[in-house]
Copies of this chain bind each other. A is one copy, B any other.
């Protein structure tokens, strides 16, 4: 490609609404252009990156035996009503009525449609396993679209769906997709982790997120440097930090702590380590009658150590909280604790409250907690002596850096990540809801076991940039770059030698199948170099009259601190070696 026949459009400044570096750089490099909130045009330079990403995904999906098809963007509501998602999903599901007032949705994913295809097309066990995927435009009406295409509304996703005869076969499909994802992200040249993730109501351990490592990531990912343990923060298991509960050594004392409503403030006031305090969080669950009205409310007190944080996903797995919970209201707190928030605790409750202690809290002695009296805390609190044993002990906190790894092989570290892929075992959730069965060897209908596997194609661009950039711009991994090599002739319009060598090299690289751009725009060197550093082309060759007189060109990798002179006679071999072609 020659730049004069392409569309290069860079900006000195990022627009004011661009919040994060990838958004800023994508706007400045002319990869995307905002059309509306969370809706972007993919400009020619950006589309090239998308096509590169799609090609890698497609190759690896096909290699793994998945079969590409294409499901519509606009989907009839009927199928979504079969699974209940039409009603259950919130306003992020974009609903639309056609001219006949029939309901449709703009697809955010395609479980319903693909299951509808499967129940019609896959009739016998002989046709299983099957894995169908497509790369298609999706829409999620995010409440607050932001970060450019990282959390946009319209985006491109690769979504695959596997159909198997039983759990074991579904496991093999899952493993094949996991392996394909590893191949895909390896080929993209990204640093990433596959982390175990929560499986929610489906259960089991077959849910993994692929997280691109980046300090700016929205997700916290937990891993053990000494082993291969990795999970997202929702799932990562927190062990008790106290192996055994010590005997009580202090008396229970009600201590004034005026205006000190947080554990940190109380610890400071009392000159005690934060680790001696216990944080009390009041939740509530409602039992509904047949008419959908609340017939009974239970108040819960969840206890985590003062320096720890409640993990709501873990809490939602506790018996009694599984059906959903909410934070208790001020009125409920007053009725059960006789006190305002900030001074709650498990001792001296006014009405029955279910007490759940985190594993670490359950082994604490002589701890500090709220006294259920405004401006007072207890010190020297001890289980069994001052209050009954908790109703339940469970892992309900987020792990923190330095916690013991649940596999017993070291301590945990935490990184930030950007989720770009997810493999997920669905079981028979959709096949049961939509009656998608196959006939087994005995002619008996059986529900198909399903898995779903997504990659955020457009989000991947943002994630790659968050991970790979410097003050000058984007640094694309070779496999994602809009162009791998840019040939920059200086003074091409004045020097026939420069023009001839630029054309020769351009054609030579094209003949090798290298995606090369010749910058024939006639820009001045400074502006030209700034453009390609901003856009992030990984390899640059500069051709100048002065250099040619010495028989030299200049090569510079995008991460290189300075240029390398290369003899004209050797440049083809040099580049073949650099590019591995």
Interface residues of A, Cβ cutoff 8 Å to B: 5-7, 9, 33, 35-36, 39-44, 46-47, 50, 65, 67-76, 91-92, 94-96, 98-99, 104, 106, 113, 116-117, 120-121, 130, 132, 136-137, 139, 141, 143, 153-154
| CB pair B94 A74 closer than 8 Å | yes
Question: How many Å lie between the Cα of A65 and that of B94 in the bound state?
Answer: 37
Return A376 CB to nearest CB of chain B, in Å: 46
| CB pair B94 A70 closer than 8 Å | no
| CB pair B39 A67 closer than 8 Å | no
A9 / chain B contacts, CB cutoff of 8 Å: 121
Other A-B contacts than A41-B70, A43-B69, A74-B106, 14 sampled, CB-CB below 8 A, are A7-B67, A33-B117, A35-B71, A35-B75, A35-B113, A36-B75, A36-B104, A39-B72, A41-B69, A73-B73, A73-B137, A94-B96, A96-B106, A98-B153
Question: How many Å lie between the Cα of A32 and that of B466 in the bound state?
Answer: 40
Our pick among B40, B75, B76, B98 for the contact of A141 (Cβ within 8 Å) is B98
Q: A7-B130, A73-B137 are in contact. Are A68 and B94 (CB under 8 A)?
A: no
| CB pair A76 B6 closer than 8 Å | no
15 A-B contacts (beta carbon < 8 Å):
A7-B69, A33-B117, A35-B71, A36-B104, A41-B70, A43-B69, A44-B69, A44-B132, A47-B68, A73-B139, A74-B153, A74-B154, A94-B98, A98-B141, A99-B141
In the complex, residue of chain B having the shortest beta-carbon distance to the beta carbon of A50: B70
Our pick among B5, B35, B143 for the contact of A72 (Cβ within 8 Å) is B35
Our pick among B7, B36, B91 for the contact of A99 (Cβ within 8 Å) is B91
A130 / chain B contacts, CB cutoff of 8 Å: 7
Return A438 CB to nearest CB of chain B, in Å: 14
A68 / chain B contacts, CB cutoff of 8 Å: 44, 47
| CB pair A65 B96 closer than 8 Å | no
Question: How many Å lie between the Cα of A136 and that of B73 in the bound state?
Answer: 11
Our pick among B44, B137, B143 for the contact of A137 (Cβ within 8 Å) is B137
| CB pair B74 A139 closer than 8 Å | yes
Return A122 CB to nearest CB of chain B, in Å: 9
Question: How many Å lie between the Cα of A132 and that of B113 in the bound state?
Answer: 33
A72 / chain B contacts, CB cutoff of 8 Å: 35, 39-41, 137, 154
